[in-house]
Amino acid sequence: MGVSIFMKKLLQKLMKPSRKYPIIALVLVGAVIAVAGVVTMNKTFEVFSTTEFCTSCHTMQQNYEEYKQSVHFSNAKGIRAECVDCHQPKDFAGKVMRKMGAVTDLYHHFITGKIDTPEQFEEHRLELAQKVWDRMADENYKTCTTCHSYDAMDHSKQSVQAMKEMIPAAKENMACVECHKGIAHELPNMAGGFRKTFETLAASAIAPAGATKLYSLEEKSLFATADANGKVEGQLLPASEVDVIGEEGDMLKVRIQGWIETNGKGRVMTEYMGKRVFKATIRGDVKTTETVISEEVDAATNIAWKQVAVNAYITKDGMLESIDPVWDYASEMYSSSCNSCHAAPAPGHFTANGWISSLKAMSAYYRLSKTEERTLLKYLQNHGSDTGGAGAH
């Protein structure tokens, strides 16, 4: 009851005209202050959103020079996209969030000096670019769609190649940066990320004692005896499963199971019957341990196959207890290598055999080692349309 009376008196006090100033004057003063505040805030946003302000720090000069060479800076239509057009949403909430996020940029500029030199900038370019791409995705790419709209595009006025790419992209409502990374700034070294992932995996990929099933991170030499200096009698390919059947010193005795063509030379073992998903090559004394598990004829090709198993020795390094880290690494490699120029198709877009020619066609546009290429192909094949995204075999 007392609180109610207090609130009533407070309201009356606030509503009572001032004895010194007319209430209309107070309202006008309040309105002027409010308008001045809004104008000041907008002017502040305007100044802090200019390209001149964005590039006033020396750490942004490299970005600025790259931007000046891009189509967003100079083009036939004379339309220039300023820094904020790509990096700051147009809505008020988006602007505030972006300015708040920029505090970390100021921290690194003035305190840590994280990108203080061109060399430091290059070292962190991939990390910085990924943050921008992730932020654009979180904002549903609204900074891109402010200027670019599929509905407003006249595909007949585009080049033949652009039309070929843009029509399906429009149907799927694809994000601009799925195909146009590097449109305003140089692309980072995309290999930097997945190669660091590999280094981390390789450092920890040592077969633990007592493991019964392992997966190869990279190629492994196969030996007929527990001697790593002995004759190599085959090769286990990346992302291949083995059963551990014994240990001798620093060597593992493993059983490798797969498929070989009945009428072939029997040296190449595949993951699946009729699919060129290579698992191992076997020869010599390792080949002599071969036992036949079953025999089948591939109905699609009428080729006879047999499922076999061989015993061999391998070293303990480069082996993991789970295939998942290998697939995660390969997925990162695929995203980095094949999404840098265009939107890469989902692994299930092609069959296991179809991925061989598809990846080969793209080989001129990426720079992967033979081992990296084999791992990537194995990942795509094991997640292809006819392997059911098996992945874990």
Binding-site positions: 54, 57-58, 83, 86-87, 144, 147-148, 176, 179-180, 338, 341-342
Of 223, 220, 216, 254, nearest to 235 by C-alpha is: 220
Residue 188 DSSP class = P
* Positions at the binding site for heme: 54, 57-58, 83, 86-87, 144, 147-148, 176, 179-180, 338, 341-342
Residue where the block lists tokens 């190649």: 161
Whether the CB-CB separation of 252 and 243 falls below 8 Å is answered with no
Residue where the block lists tokens 């008196």: 9
Whether the CB-CB separation of 134 and 123 falls below 8 Å is answered with no
Strand runs labelled E in the chain: 213-216, 220-223, 232-236, 241-248, 251-261, 268-272, 275-282, 291-298, 303-315, 319-320
Cα(225)–Cα(8) distance, rounded to whole angstroms?
A: 95
Q: At what angle do helices 324-338 and 191-204 cross, to 10 degrees?
A: 160
Characterise 237 by phi-psi region: left (phi > 0), alpha (psi -120 to 50), beta (else): beta
Whether the CB-CB separation of 255 and 291 falls below 8 Å is answered with no
Residue 155 DSSP class = G
